Amino acid sequence: MILVEEAERILKQIPVRIHTEEAAVSDALGRILAQDVVSPIYMPPFDKSAMDGYAFISDDDSKRFKIIEIVPAGVIPKKKITKGNCAKIMTGGMMPEGADKVIIKEVTEEKEGYMRIIGKDYNINLCRMGEDVKPGDVVLKKGTLIRPPEVGILASMGLSRFKAFRRPVVGIVVTGSELVDPGSPLKEGQIYDSNSYSLSAQAQQMGLEIHNAGIVSDNINRIQRVFEKLWQPCDVVIFSGGVSEGDYDFVPGILKNTGFELHFDKVAVKPGKPTVFATRKHDVVFGAPGNPVSTIVIFEIFIKPFLYRMMGHEFKPVYKQGILKNDLSRKRANRSAFVPVLYKGGEVKPLPYHGSAHIFALNKADGFVCIPKGIKKMLAGSTVNVRSIQ
Ligand code: AMP
Ligand code: MG
């Protein structure tokens, strides 16, 4: 059995093959940039008005200003502003030559082609050409995960395509003769397969393409057949169940039969001790134990960061710091334990939790607190970090 930190070290050191490809900005969400993105343009591309109002010379103390032009957005002003004159301008309109301020409409009065100032406006209300970005500025760094704002940033520089890292294709196999697909009746001794759904959802959240092989009964030949077929489309296969010591836990044996090197098969983590990680050249396999909380936790802490590594991105979990509301204690401290908690207003409340089969406990959970190996009790009032479920 290895420590969580040791497993993380192994996962960080295994060489991964990273490919790049062209991607469309319209399909950029969740992708990872494979290049620094340099702006080809000034942003804004011209001095523009930030408000609807009148462009004039700020130290012009004329009583009234003749409106010599109307400047809607998208139109180039033709006239130069001199003292005693102004241009009516809309938000986004190009500043006319000579003017250095826009006074907002709300503090003015317009009558018979003239504008009068009837209130105070201390802002200049204009956005200067290039004040956000200049040509050649590195706007986004290689390795950046593209969220909705980054999609907008790419588009605002006029880019329609960019270089992204290729996303690994993930196969999912849930093993277990007791498993039934939701939607079918449950017979005695059976349980519904939730893992192929939760694992798919976790991978989908990362924007990955998934090949879900569904439920495979605990039959070594059947599992191996399904497994071998998945290498056609997939870069990574995730097993759920069948990874432990039971008579029907065939996954580690299949990996050995098919030429995989097992890098670890037991980690000092609760839930998820019999977690398997194996590779064969560039093929990658994770095996997570079948209890639903185990699969979810193992995906979060080991599989997700690795998949992101394959996409050229360093995944950093989100932690929130808070004060533990109740004691967290346990009888044995031989593993690091992830326990589901509520996080509210800086307060961290452990949830009623019956163990790794109790997926219902995660419904309210904001995240997990990790009780480190060797620690039996964390006292109420102590400061803890909550690892968010994303
Ligand atoms: P295993 O890792 O195969 O020993 O399974 C551990 C526990 O998780 C058993 O109680 C299984 O019935 C349960 N389990 C296995 N696979 C799934 C699944 N896909 N969905 C829900 N529970 C599962
Ligand atoms: Mg099983």
- The pair of structure tokens assigned to 334 is 């031989």
Fold assignment, 48-127: Molybdopterin biosynthesis moeA protein; domain 3 (2.170.190)
With a 6 Å cutoff on the Cβ, whether 240 touches ligand 1 is yes
**Strand, helix or coil for residue 115:** strand
Domain ranges (residues) in the chain = 4-18+166-309, 29-41+133-165, 48-127, 319-388
Among 184, 186, 187, 191, the mutation site with the greatest number of ligand 1 atoms within 8 A of its Cβ is: 191
Residue 174 near ligand 1, beta carbon < 6 Å: yes
Beta carbon of 289 within 6 Å of any ligand 1 atom: yes
Which numeric CATH code is attached to 319-388?
2.40.340.10
* pLDDT tens, position by position, 308-345: 999 999 999 999 999 999 999 999 999 999 999 999 99
Q: Could you tell me if the CB of 274 is within 6 A of ligand 1?
A: no
Task: Check pocket membership of 178 for ligand 1, CB cut-off 6 A.
Answer: yes
CATH number of 29-41+133-165, picked from 2.40.128.20, 3.90.105.10, 3.40.50.2000, 3.40.50.12590 = 3.90.105.10
Q: What is the pTM of this model?
A: 0.93
State the distance from the centre of ligand 2 to the C-alpha of 242, rounded, in angstroms: 4
Identify the architecture of domain 4-18+166-309 in CATH: 3-Layer(aba) Sandwich (3.40)
pLDDT at 31: 98
What whole-number distance in Å separates Cα of residue 358 and Cα of residue 68? 73
What are the two backbone dihedrals, phi and then psi, of residue 301, each rounded to the nearest 5 degrees? -90, -30
Cis peptide before 372 (omega within 30 of 0): no
DSSP per residue over 364-375, as a string?
Answer: S--EEEEEPTT-
Neighbours of ion ligand 2 (CB under 5 A): 176, 241-242
Spatial strand order of the sheet with 101-104 comes to 101-104, 53-56, 85-89, 65-71, 114-117, 108-111
pLDDT band at 390 (very low <50, low <70, confident <90, very high): confident
Q: Which amino acid is at 91?
A: T
Residue 173 reports pLDDT greater than 80? yes
Q: What integer pLDDT is reported at residue 180 of this predicted model?
A: 98
Nearest CA to ligand 1 atom 6: 290
CB contact at 8 A, 198 and 296: yes
Q: What is the pLDDT of residue 389?
A: 87
Spacing, Cα 290 to ligand 1 middle (Å): 3
Q: pLDDT tens digits for 59-91? A: 999 999 999 999 999 999 999 999 999 999 999
**Which residue is associated with the tokens 């956000």?**
132
Exposed, middle or buried, 247 (CB in 10 Å: 0-12/13-18/19+)? Answer: exposed
Peptide bond into 352 cis (omega under 30): no
**What's the sign of the alpha-carbon dihedral 53, 58, 64, 68?**
negative
Please report which ligand is nearest the Cα atom of 294.
Answer: 1
Question: What ligand is nearest to the CA atom of residue 215?
Answer: 1
What are 198-251's pLDDT values in tens digits? Answer: 999 999 999 999 999 999 999 999 999 999 999 999 999 999 999 999 999 999
Q: Quick check: CB of 39 below 6 Å from ligand 1?
A: no
- With CA atoms as reference, report the closest residue to 140 among 124, 122, 164: 164
